[in-house]
Amino acid sequence: MLKVSIVTISFNQARFLERAIESVLAQDYSSLEYIIVDPGSTDGSREVIRRYEALIARAILEPDNGPADGLNKGFAATTGDILGFLNSDDILYPGAVPEAVRFFSNHPEVDVVSGHAKVIGSDDRVLRLTYSDRMSVRRYVYGGVVLIQPSTFFRRKAFEEAGGFNSANRVSWDGELFLGMACAGCKFGRSDRIWSGYRLHEESITATKRLQQTDREVFDRLFQQVIGRPRSAWDAKLELLYRTWKHFANPRDTVERIQRGPVSSAFRNDKSCRQQLRGSR
């Protein structure tokens, strides 16, 4: 039986953390190792973690240099064959882990597999669905590929070949990891199953807005790393082409976008979420 290790990084997300922990512990898979990393929460998260200490493999409660550094610490402590990571405000749905293991067993050539997700609000209400694309290095650097992070699992060798997370990346450390795996020659697969709940709430929306400019800087750096030159005006036209192609290649996600708008709009269009925003001001 393949051993699975899942790492959760948590920082001041006490109101969602317990839900994330329970979603992992509820997986019907006996060879599951769960590690939680918390660099210093002060909102009660540490108390939540202590309540579950007997059920998790390890809690790493020490300062780190950001989320990517915390994840590297967490993965350094894992012993599993298959790895995954879950943010403290997201959840795994029942059966996600055994289904991912079954996919790897049925496709021994695959190193990374991504499933799909439900976009949920703070009360677990489903706002819309979101679907992973098929991986392509070139399409990725032109903005034509999105992999749903909490619904993505990978073999240990893929993580090691990519060199782990870039600790200096504080915006899209997951995307850089997946790109690194692809550039290392890892083979990607896609499951048609919905494996996670990707949560949107007022804090995540605010953080996304705050980091948009930095995200573009990271995106440009990765582009130059892969293509071998800075982005040009011509590349902006190619990016539009690839993003348009993405909508044709992933029609289910496109239908969701047409019916319910982009992922961030799903949050703002939900009545209970609008109340959250008003209450947080």
Taking the C-alpha atoms of residue 195 and residue 118, their distance in angstroms, rounded to an integer, is: 8
Taking the C-alpha atoms of residue 183 and residue 181, their distance in angstroms, rounded to an integer, is: 5
Question: DSSP readout, 58-121?
Answer: EEE-S--SSHHHHHHHHHHT---SEEEE--TT-EEPTTHHHHHHHHHHH-TT-SEEEEEEEEE-
What percent of the chain shows pLDDT beyond 90?
82
Return the closest-CA partner of residue 194 out of 252, 127, 125, 118. Answer: 118
Q: Give the lowest-confidence range in 12-21, 92-101, 209-218.
A: 209-218
Taking the C-alpha atoms of residue 52 and residue 93, their distance in angstroms, rounded to an integer, is: 19
Taking the C-alpha atoms of residue 42 and residue 46, their distance in angstroms, rounded to an integer, is: 8
3-state helix, strand, coil in the chain (%, to 5): 50, 20, 30
Structure tokens of 203?
Answer: 């804090």
Checking if the pLDDT of 278 tops 80, the result is: no
What is the tens place of the pLDDT at every residue in 213-267?
Answer: 567 888 999 999 999 999 999 999 999 999 999 999 999 999 999 998 887 655 5
Global pTM reads 0.91
CB 143 within 8 A of CB 242: yes
Q: What is the band of 269 on the pLDDT scale with cuts at 50, 70, 90? A: low
Domain spanning 4-280, CATH class: alpha beta
